[in-house]
Amino acid sequence: MDFIRNFPLFTIVFSLFSGVLCMMLPGKAAKYYTAAYECLLIFFSASVLWYTSVTGTSFTYVMGEFPAPWGNEIRGGVLEALIALTFLIVMLCSAFAGWHFLVQDIDESKINLYFTLLNLLTAALMAMTWTNDIFTGYVFLEILTLTSCGLLIVREIGRTTLAAVRYMILNLLGSGLFLLGVVLLYDITGHLLMMNMQGAIAEISKDSRQMTTLTLSVGILTIGLAIKSGLFPFHFWMPDTYGWATPTSASVLSALVSKAYIFLLIKIYWRVIGIDVLDRMPIGKILCVLGMCGIIFGSVSAMRADNINRMTAFSSAAQIGYIYMGIGIGGMAGYTAAVFHILTHAVTKSLLFLSTPRLAEVSDGSLLFKKLQGSALRDRQAGAFFLVGSFSMIGIPIFAGFSSKLLFSLAAVDSGSNKKLILVMLVLAVSSLLNAMYFIRTIIRIYTHPQSAAAQALSSVTAGSAAAQGLAAGTAGSAAEVTSREKQRRASGLRRPDYIIPSLVLIAANLFLGLFSWAVVDLIERGFGMFF
Amino acid sequence: MNEKFRRWLCGDTDVLENITDTTEIPDAPRERIKENVQTARRTVLKAPEAQRTMLLERKGFHAAYTAVAIVSCILLIGVLLFIVAGLPLYGQENVRADEVIKRYIESGLKETGAVNIVSGMILDYRAFDTLGESHVLFTALVCVMILLRRDKKNMRPDYEDYYTVREDVYFDISKDSILGRVGTFLIPCIFVYGLYVLLNGQISPGGGFSGGAVMGAGMIMFSAAFGFDTVDKFFTLKLSSYITFAALSFYSFAKGYVFFMGANGLDNGIPKGAPGAILSGGLILPLDVAVGLVVACTMFGFYSLFRRGSIGGASAGTVPTETD
């Protein structure tokens, strides 16, 4: 057996151990330790990705001495490795780029605990990605739920505590429904390992009465994961959760945690239920409709938001809708688009959530749009990062968002159903329009100077000397602005490479997904090919 | 209360602006703070946003909400009953589903060396799940520590101190002579019983989680009967973190080693021992001890954090500065 096959195990055990170790370290040491070992984890995942894509095979890894139906198993394939690699890169970038705010938001005696939670969350993400056993999925889903609540409350202000309570109640409801679904499936099939369950289910599904039971059980499980990932009727916890958390938490929660639930769902659909059996259930259609509703309603709510983080959070609700729409379209093309969008959203939303607090910092610490006027001019880096993120979300070519929208429309064409094609195209068109509206509104707002806007208004009303006076006032104002901006920047100490480099890495990942989407799509398709 | 909950449900964040985000340290007594909160609420209620939600309420939002809740509950109950009716009958032989259970019952003793099949299952056959499960407890402890451990952000030195000290004196039951006397007799028994359950996990019902819970309960009773000062003499935050760290990292590495050897087809060289003896079941006993220690520390940690906002040391009013 090749040594690389051990790497998935190492990623899980190392990150569990690192979580416990970080409790013993002082805050700064925990940060550097986390960085070092996450680089190691990235190396492990990349090796597995290389190994599985070169050999063209997936492998199962027996946890202990007891093989298939008796012991636990994990599984390495192209898809798992790709998801794990992306998750780890985004995790590392978020931890570093948000450090500046972490120190402000968290009491210094608790920074090591924050990294403890972050590492346990990494372990849970890894285990949920690699698992080949549905109950292992549940155990680590519990860790994910608890750690994400911890990442929220760590800021210790009223709003995050309140948001965390709401988030926890909904998440526990979701966990409960998921557990119920797992228990029912176990009762029907007598197995917990994915492949054995699939065999049993393929046999059971021939009986129509049992098929109804099966459909309802899968439905309960799906609702559980949909609540946890924030599909349309359950998306209302998102703005508070993402809006007030410390930037690293917001980025990790929106970009990784909800995606891990969706990836587990996809894995269950393919490897437990089997895609042929699933096609006979109405679940796909329901998910498609709910996803479309999520896209539209999320975008409309984002337009009405008065706060940049709430807007970005509602946009997350819309993006989750896209992913579920891809799952609902079904077929290889639909799932490929969904997984591609998971990657796109992970690298884009983290970039957005890491740039908004910096825009707020140069605007009296307020995230309200009315205070943010001209903030990108005061902090050009953060403005540029936000610009890239929004272009990707809108779907401008060369960025990742464009490729995933293209993939969704191709999947709709491939699905062979006219109804689906028309609906998906319509929703894509409308949502792109809405996305463009609220993101471009934000961009205009953060890039227009308050003074020059006033000057323009003045010049349009009066003529001649009055306009000249107004312009003069405007330039004088902006000169004063420049010096104050410099002062602010020096004071905040934001010109640090540990913010810029992670953001550039995220932008590079975004461009890579946009420009070389064919390579990634090829990898995902090969991953699905060996997913049975 | 009702109205507040509903507004919270609607997601009106700005309603709380004046209530929850008080950054200044209030030096006023509690009554005046209550007054301030009430005036803040009153001003909030006058806001147009709040008027909109009030209008919503007048149109029977609450009634509709209740109705929808009841209907969806009944629907869920119906669906679950329907599913249960379609499940395989209890006690009916099911060849496909019995494959795993049969193996556990028939060769569990031989393969794991544990008389208690449940221990063999959770710590040997499916040890990976239990590895996760023991970290779930640890995660919960870390979350409670983040929320409740006193620091500069959640403590207002001048204001809280007075009330904390008063509360501590008021709720201190360690001077209670009945509790103290009963504790003297009971606590050693509880600890011995906890150890028994812990160490016999591979032979009889019990094991790490239950034994640890009993010992944690013993610790809680000890601190209730003899006061936190007595506990602080031997049980500090440092000791608690070292025990948790040692136990969990031993667990991770021991099991990681077994997984690694098992998956690579190598012999892990851990003796199974004679079934029924204390030293049997391979790694089950040490893992049970590790889990038991973590559970005991976690349970006492919860109690201590909820009672006084710290684990060991750091008496009321002082902000702990330790970083470990």
B60-73 pLDDT tens trace: 777 888 899 999 99
pLDDT tens string A51-86: 999 998 888 888 888 887 888 889 999 999 999 999
d(CA A212, CA A218): 10
Q: State how far residue B64 is from chain A, nearest Cα, in angstroms.
A: 16
Residue B24 scores a pLDDT above 50: no
Q: Verify whether the Cβ–Cβ distance B320 to A109 is below 8 Å.
A: yes
Mean pLDDT, rounded, for A427-456: 82
Residue A11 belongs to a domain: no
- What is the rounded distance in angstroms from the CA atom of residue B101 to the CA atom of residue B91? 13
Considering only CB atoms, which chain A residues are within 8 Å of B113? Answer: none
When pLDDT is cut at 50, 70 and 90, the band that residue B205 belongs to is confident
Q: Is residue A180 part of a domain?
A: no
In the structure, what pLDDT confidence band is assigned to residue B242 with cuts at 50, 70 and 90? very high
Residues A363-385: tens digit of each pLDDT: 887 888 878 888 888 888 889 99
Please check the confidence at residue A319 and state whether its pLDDT lies above 90: yes
In a domain, A305, yes or no: yes
Cβ neighbours around A158 below 10 Å, total: 15
In A393-425, which positions are buried (b, 16+ CB within 10 angstroms) versus exposed (e)? bbbeeebbbbbbbbbbeebbebbeeeebbebbe
Give the mean pLDDT of B27-36.
61
Instruction: Supply angle C-alpha A133, A138, A140, rounded to 5.
Output: 95
At residue B26, does pLDDT exceed 50? no
- Cβ separation of A239 and B11 shorter than 8 Å? yes
Token representation of residue A47: 């090796």
At residue B49, the pLDDT reads 59
Q: Which residue has the higher pLDDT, A418 or A467?
A: A418
How much of chain A, in percent, has pLDDT values that exceed 70?
91
Strand partners, A193: A133
Higher pLDDT, B177 or A480: B177
Residue A256 placed within a domain: no
Token pair recorded at residue B245: 């760290």
Tell which wins on pLDDT, A503 or A157: A503
Q: Which residues of A touch B259 (CB under 8 A)?
A: 9, 13, 63-64
Cβ atoms of B202 and B284 closer than 8 Å: yes
Return the DSSP state at A74.
E
Our CA-based measurement puts residue B297 at a distance from the nearest CA of chain A, in whole angstroms, of: 14
Are B264 and A10 a contacting pair, CB within 8 Å? no
Q: Report the distance separating Cα B39 and Cα A100, nearest Å.
A: 36
Q: How confident is the model at residue B156 (pLDDT cuts 50, 70, 90)?
A: low
Inter-chain residue contact A71 with B125, CB threshold 8 Å: yes
Per residue in B70-124, pLDDT tens? 999 999 999 999 998 888 887 777 767 777 888 888 888 888 888 888 888 888 8
Tell whether A64 lies on the interface with B, counting CB pairs under 8 A.
yes
Q: Is the pLDDT of residue A447 over 50?
A: yes
Please report whether residue A211 resides in a domain.
no
Whether the Cβ atoms of residue A57 and residue A502 lie closer than 8 Å to each other: no
Q: Over the Cα atoms of chain B, what is R_g? A: 27
* Nearest chain B Cα distance for residue A158, angstroms: 5
User: How far are the Cα atoms of A65, A69, A507, B110 from residue B268, in angstroms, in the given order?
Assistant: 9, 21, 46, 16
Residue A122's nearest CA partner among A45, A177, A205, A25 is A45
Q: How far apart are CA A31 and CA A502, in angstroms?
A: 15
Q: What residues of chain A lie within 8 A of the CB of B272, using their CB?
A: none
Better-predicted residue by pLDDT, B226 or A408: A408
At residue A374, the 3 state secondary structure works out as: coil
Number of domains, chain A = 1
CB contact under 8 A, B100 and A63: no
pLDDT at A466: 43
Domain presence at residue A303: yes
In three-state secondary structure terms, A75 is: strand
A292 CB-contact burial (10 Å; exposed 0-12 / middle 13-18 / buried 19+): buried
Q: Hey, which residues does A60 pair with through a beta bridge?
A: A75
Query: In 3D, which of A43, A18, A17, A12 has the Cα closest to residue A31?
Result: A18
Supply the pLDDT for residue B65. 84
Q: Tell me whether residues A1 and B103 touch, CB distance under 8 A.
A: no
User: Rounded CA gap, A389 and A97, in Å?
Assistant: 15
Task: Indicate whether this complex's ipTM tops 0.95.
Answer: no
Q: Residues 6 or more apart from A452 whose CB is under 8 A from it? A: A474, A478
The Cα–Cα gap between A211 and A273 comes to 11
Q: What are residue A26's phi and psi, to 5 degrees?
A: -70, 160
- Can you give the residue range of the structural domain that contains A363? 282-457+492-532
Q: pLDDT (tens digit, 9 = 90+) per residue, A138-183? A: 999 999 999 999 999 998 888 888 889 999 999 999 999 999 999 9
Q: A142 CB near a chain B CB, below 8 Å? A: yes
Q: A154 and B146 in contact by Cβ < 8 A?
A: yes
For chain B, the structural domain boundaries read 115-316
Is residue A137, in this structure, part of any structural domain at all? no
Of residues B128 and B33, more confidence is placed in B128
Averaged pLDDT score across all residues of chain B:
78
The kind and range of the H/E element at A31 are: helix A27-55
Residue B152: pLDDT over 90: no
A95-108 pLDDT, tens digit per residue, is: 988 888 888 888 88
Check B245 against A20: CB less than 8 A apart. yes
Confidence check: pLDDT of B13 > 50 = no
Question: Does the beta carbon of B257 lie under 8 angstroms from any beta carbon of chain A?
Answer: no
Give the integer Cα–Cα distance in Å for A163 and A145. 14
Measure the CA–CA gap between A84 and A11, rounded to whole angstroms. 10
Spell out the residues 6+ positions from residue A129 whose beta carbon is closer than 8 angstroms to its own: A80, A83, A84, A87, A260, A263
- How far B130 CA lies from chain A's nearest CA (Å)? 8
Write out residues 151-190 of A within 8 Å (CB-CB) of B.
153-154, 156-159, 161-162, 166, 180, 184, 187-190
